[in-house]
Amino acid sequence: MKKLIIILIGLSTLCFSQKKISKSHPETNLTCKTCHSCEVPTRQDPCLNACPRASMVTVYQSAEQTKNVVTLGDISKKYEPVIFQHRIHAEMAEMSGGCATCHHYNTSGPIQPCKNCHLLNRKRDDISKPDLEAAYHRQCITCHREWSHQNSCVSCHALKNTTQTASQLKAAQTLETKTHPKLVEPKKLVFETNDKDGRLVTFYHDEHINIFGAKCINCHQQQNCSMCHDKDKVSSINSPEGMPVKIQKSKSEHHKPCFACHQNDDCSLCHQQKIAGPFNHEIRTGWALNRFHEKLSCTKCHGTTYKFVKLDNNCVSCHKDWKVGSFNHQITGLKLDENHVEVDCADCHANKDFSKTPVCTNCHDDKSFPKDRPGKLVSSVQTKTMKSVK
């Protein structure tokens, strides 16, 4: 009985001596929708939302600004230090999450090495943060297992006092000048499918980036080398250096990134019998952009990037705060005279519908627009100048 009391006291001391006790999901304010965008996440399709920690990262570097090779030897006991091809991994990471893939809490800069946050000591108070060895393996092992189809430690680690040490050093010297082949962003991709009603799918890659504001990670999230290449299948025709051949994606894999925005759209939007033209605002939305809107960025009206929603075409949806004196009418190409400069917008633009021809009958019985104008036209040069000033 005395031994049992001592054991219980020891256990209670161990529990309450921790600085932080991690809570399970039901005990937190989190809901499934905090991390997952779909109703039933699975291992194959977790439907993960963008992690909020990505917005914390304020320091970015291109792959060219990083070191070619980094030696990781802080935890080496049984093995020689690991020769890590940092620049090649940085170049590959640009397709998905960039620097934040590994340096995920780098808020103030310069970019911190892993050991600045992850301790060498495995006996730590906060068990929610892995130690350095666990952090390395969590970042590396999944991709390398899928890529090499093996789980051997010596694929990265060389045992001390073996011939592997010399070969690893030789490999490190080779890697000093080696880089990943440049990823060329395509302008347009045309896919030929088995769909009888719409055999061709035209994907304008440049539009999704430059117009809609999509980031690489929006479509290429949770991808690694094995998603595009299989090490066991090497092409001898187009790969003189023995590069792995590209994997053919399944129908669901092709649709997955598109359905993030187009899940509720009709199939014929993408699947057509001919190569589709680029994005046309009038055809796609039913509302043609006039000279005042065609140069605006999408976010100016839609207020967000990537996933746009349909807007109300009524002018006052956006232009509801125009008041006398707050708008320079000369931008429209018509400079108001002194008799009209103080007139309210609604006196000429009925219901503040600026898309329709202005009327004069609210104040004048004998005048009409455009025969009678409340000012004078200005040249197109002046108008463009005023727009740039605005």
Determine the topology of domain 50-183 in CATH. Cytochrome C3 (3.90.10)
pLDDT of residue 186: 87
Q: What is the average pLDDT value for the chain, to the nearest integer?
A: 75
What is the band of 274 on the pLDDT scale with cuts at 50, 70, 90? very high
- Which spans in 182-329 are helix H? 205-210, 216-220, 225-228, 251-262, 281-285, 298-302
Task: Find the mean pLDDT for residues 354-379.
Answer: 87
Task: Find the mean pLDDT for residues 228-242.
Answer: 53
Residue 348: Cβ within 10 Å count: 20
pLDDT of residue 80: 80
Q: Could you tell me which CATH class the domain 189-275 is placed in? A: alpha beta
pLDDT of residue 271: 93
| Residue range(s) of every CATH 3.90.10.10 domain in the chain | 50-183
Q: In the predicted model, is pLDDT for residue 156 greater than 90?
A: no
In degrees rounded to 5, what are phi and psi of residue 203? -120, 115
pLDDT tens for each residue of 288-334: 887 778 878 787 788 776 677 778 777 777 777 777 777 888 888 88
What is the band of 144 on the pLDDT scale with cuts at 50, 70, 90? confident
Task: Find the mean pLDDT for residues 250-269.
Answer: 85
Q: In the predicted model, is pLDDT for residue 353 greater than 90?
A: no
Tell me the C-alpha distance between 232 and 242, whole Å. 11
Q: What letter represents residue 117's amino acid?
A: C
95, 220 in Cβ contact below 8 A? yes
Percent of the chain residues topping a pLDDT of 70: 73
Structure tokens at 142: 């999944």
Tell me the C-alpha distance between 344 and 325, whole Å. 9
Structure tokens at 137: 């393996």
